[in-house]
Structure 1
Amino acid sequence: MAVAIKTWEKIEKNVGVLEFEVGVEEVNSALDKAFQKAAKTVAVPGFRKGKVPRQIFENRFGVEVLYQDALDILLPEAYTAAVNEANITPVDRPEIDVVQFGKNETAVIKATITVKPEVELGAYKGLTVEKKDFTVTAEAIDAELANLQGSHAEIVVAEEGVAVETGDLVIIDFKGFVNGEAFEGGEADNYQLEIGSNTFIPGFEDQIIGMKKGEEKEVNVNFPEQYHVATLAGQPAVFKVTLNETKRKQLPALDDEFVKDISEFNTLDELKADIENKLKEKAEQDAKLYVEEAVISQAVENATIEIPEAMIDNEIEFLMNDFKQRLQQQGIPFDAYVQFTGASTESLKDEFRGQAVNRVRTGLVLEAVTAAEGIEATEGEINTELENIAASAKMEVERVKSILEARDPGLSNLHNDIKTRKTIAVLVESAKVE
């Protein structure tokens, strides 16, 4: 759609007003579509629905009744064309002011837009990174062996009289009271809880330690100040708990027979050697990532940016949705999570805020460095990336390309990923590790 930019004027640091015009032909076309929509439902004596002539419709109801629908049809495409023409990048929904709109008239629109902020880069080359030791130790190898041993442990019911320890699975009945009154959602029978998992309100699990089968106990805790149920937030509570059963991990012997059962190796020494090699590979990756994160962090710290609140809010929403999806993958309903942790949507958003600000700042700075260095993704790099994706997915390259282009016309995300990696490489290659 063709639009004409009248003015673009900043009124705040990251907010401006874009005034643009849409031609008579586009306006009348939108009015035609609005009439076709309205005619399907409007009732005019002597005419079937959808068959009323345009002139009779306008004489009876006035052309103005079509304006809102026409604007709804016209604005999305016109606004997109206008911001592209003005070469600005919105980061939030605009505030629209319709200055002029009518049949056989040019439309004049004002949009108040929050735009992507300008980044004032500081030093980003030749940065110094403190050296960090990533040597694989014997203790690290032993810890991996212990994890492997634990993952193959048998869960057995503990003997009578055994006291609960951290790491045990307990089956409990509990009922919670605040000010002597039971509260909704504070009761369960035969609930399985891993001690030390921090699933319940802080302090609850610690007081289960030492209990024995059949024992009853009053557990005293305080609900967090930011608890999602307002009537419980900050309140002291008493839970009457009965321990029905304790289960404990029974570790297998760490010997050659165990190794043969759980791996392709024949001896414990062979397994240790394999673990050491894998830990060394991971250490190399960790060392590389450490340097990357260090130089990125410094480049971000050295830059000056005033971030619009809308960008932070959008990133917080992204992190919240990602968190909920990960909970869902673990089979944990979000409502159940907030109930047993004392969290709330607002408190989680507050927790995510710092991460969101850092992610937005980092993205903006890397994007600015990419522009400053003139970094682009070449056709060869795009093709190589597509080949790698195709090989990983065991698909034809052209099939992969068509799928990606359907989701992302122009493969802009792929271009950006490659440019970001090249930008980080520029920071790392110029850095000094000492």
Structure 2
Amino acid sequence: MQVTETLNEGLKRGYKMILSATDLDAKVNEKLKEAQPEIEIKGFRKGKVPLPLLKKQFGQRVLGEAMQEAVDGAMSKHFEEKGERPAFEPDVKMANQDWKEGDDVEIELSYEALPEVPEVDLKSVTLERLVARADDAAVDEALKNLAESAQDFKDRKAGTKAKDGDQVVIDFVGKVDGEAFEGGSAEDYPLVLGSNSFIPGFESQLVGVKAGEEKAVTVTFPDEYQAEHLAGKEAVFDCTVKAVRQPVAAEITDELAQKYGAEDLAALKTQIAERLEQEYAGAARAILKRNLLDKLDEMVSFDLPPTMVETEAKQIAHQLWHEENPDVHGHDHPEIEVTDEHTRLAERRVRLGLLLADLGQKAKVEVSDAEMTQAVMTQARQYPGHEREFFEFVQKNPQMRQQLRAPIFEDKVIDYVVELATVSEKEISKDDLEKAIEAMSDE
């Protein structure tokens, strides 16, 4: 196939490819000869059908296949000889739309090539890893929060009105049209007001009640209520308030520790300290990664595929618009303008993405099946009760698998770079670590 370059500007490429009618006919004949031994037509023994007859009967069908194979082969040879890879699927179209059998086939090929990424001296990179320790004050603060979340309740003074957050102990009987219904009654039921664990409107009517008081609570079951015979119906619950209790933090004792699976309070404190230091290490890694990417971005400069930058800029603009307009969940909104800032961020992301991909490829970084399985399982937990459907969706969706693989691959490349870089450690307080995270988020 004859190939002529028509465009070479930056990373944009264009070529005209001509497949002569003679070569196409030869390829059709070749394919028919390959199939000839297996073809059987009435009047001829298997494998003995004359080529002209095969061509008359099957030529049109084979013609399209031969043309596609010729173009695919020419493209593969072209990319191999040029040593280029397209940033996106190449645009391939027939130039002579009025083509008829016996004409040469003229193909126009255009694409944006992936750039050649320059070498980076990773050993020259210097980084600082922040280290924060979980001191006694941080452990005590976390322990206090834990005790508050594991709150108990104690009786309020007689005659005290119940408030939101209080626990009321009630007996109740629910009735629809004056008749008690199954499952609508209970005794000594501990209900936390404001927990929204009962039918909408139920708890708010008990705010202000006192121990010993009787209260008729009228509510309407939601139209989509799980019990169809109650859906949309009005019900009256006759309630007797037996106690009003206020929330109090659980006492910080060995008993509290045992509720959380620790042997005693000392063991719980050790667990908390370890968890806090894991959190600090995660925050410190995020800062280290950001600083590393900043340094790498300063160290390299190369041409970027325009369409790749444009696509990324549109995605950034779209994402930021939705963050600023959280009430809009769909995509039925005005066209979002891409600003210079969006483009600048897109250029950074594309440049770093191509650099990390190149570094990972050269270092032979791989994402294992076990790592992918763990990523899928982690994501599946966001869809309780539908884990199997999510697994099947991922298996059938290459794009989703790539979305799950990309951050794992990136983190492994970051680890590889950090191993080669010169890294020093600096101990800081938890407060200073939080300030560093906030400063990074504000940039």
Shorter-chain TM-score: what band? 0.3 to 0.5
TM-score with structure 2 setting the length: 0.47
TM-score with structure 1 setting the length: 0.47
